[in-house]
Amino acid sequence: MAKPPYVPPLLHGRISREGLAALEPRIALAADFDARLVVPAPAATLDLDLGGVAVRFAADAPVAAHLRDYLGEWLVAAGAAPQVQVAVGTVARVPTDESVTRLVVREDGGYLRATQRGLMVRVDLERRELTALVEVSGLRQDLTNLIRVVLSLFAPAQSSVLFRATAVAHRGRVVLFSGPTLAGKTTVAHLSAGREVLSDDGLVVTVSDGAVIARSVGQWGGESRERRARRCELPLAAVFALRKAACNELKPLSRAAAAVELAAAVPLLSRDSALSRSVLELSARAARLVPVYELAFCNRDGSFWELVEKVL
């Protein structure tokens, strides 16, 4: 019997267990999901290096144009076989009955099927092949969500995770500000005037050879439409778990608490135990190498940076 659809635990579990239990019985992916998922013939094949994951897109004209324009810095020359292949095209409206705005996922028979607003995607987990439709009216955000699916599922095999956070460049390194929805990640981006904000949504964190490297992958939230993506790869200096408060306060987290905080910021789309174990192991390794703090901050100005700079 096929497993029922579910809402994956994204962003620190921003839906409670009770809320999730109430929501899941109302979720359904169309029985003819695969039949509806008809992708137009590709106009171009583009290879991108997304945080160390080699992804080949077979894309129709609108998607290819967007990838060249918005993610041009991540384009690479076609070479060896890619680690992930994505066939993607645009439609006026994604042909799904799903009305839940969060990502809804179903796994069975080696496939993962998911839909969210203007995105509809099927993943062959063994072959690492994705087939997807996105809505042309929301192309940037829908492709961003598609890339999240790719990296959430396949980055851990490269000793990497997609980490949901605001990233700010600081003296040749990267500082991350993590937290659940409404914790203040986008607010931190807006209050970091004069500093280079690399993303207010997420980037890839790689743990290898005793170092932790942060790599931008063009991820911006829907509130940051004016932002441009820039490819960047820098050592990770520290992670600050955000909590809004009346005044600024900073305290270091224990290694165990730090590992939990890091793992909580990684979206898990699959219930596969091996994938979960990889994320937990990478989070624990990162917590041994990079300091993690809880930052209670006042969201009226950028004065919290005074505390942050003292520990960097």
pLDDT along the chain (312 residues), means of 10: 54 43 53 88 96 96 95 90 96 76 78 89 96 94 93 95 94 94 87 90 91 92 63 96 92 95 88 88 96 91 93 94
- Which CATH number does 161-311 carry? 3.90.228.20
Query: C-alpha angle 234/240/244, rounded to 5°?
Result: 140
DSSP-assigned states of every residue in 165-214: EEEEEETTEEEEEE-STTSSHHHHHHT-TTSEEEESSEEEEEEETTEEEE
DSSP-assigned states of every residue in 262-274: HHHTS------HH
- CA distances, 250 to each of 80, 169, 238 (Å): 46, 20, 13
User: Distance between CA 213 and CA 207 in Å, rounded?
Assistant: 7
Give 206's Cβ-side CA count (13 Å radius).
19
- Six-digit token string for 289: 């190498």
- Looking at the chain, how many residues does it have? 312
For residues 44 and 115, the answer to whether their CB atoms sit within 8 Å is: no
Q: Measure CA 57 to chain center.
A: 18
User: Distance between CA 42 and CA 29 in Å, rounded?
Assistant: 26
Which residues are paired to 234 by β-bridges? 214
User: Distance between CA 278 and CA 165 in Å, rounded?
Assistant: 20
User: Could you tell me where in the chain the CATH 3.90.228.20 domains are found?
Assistant: 161-311
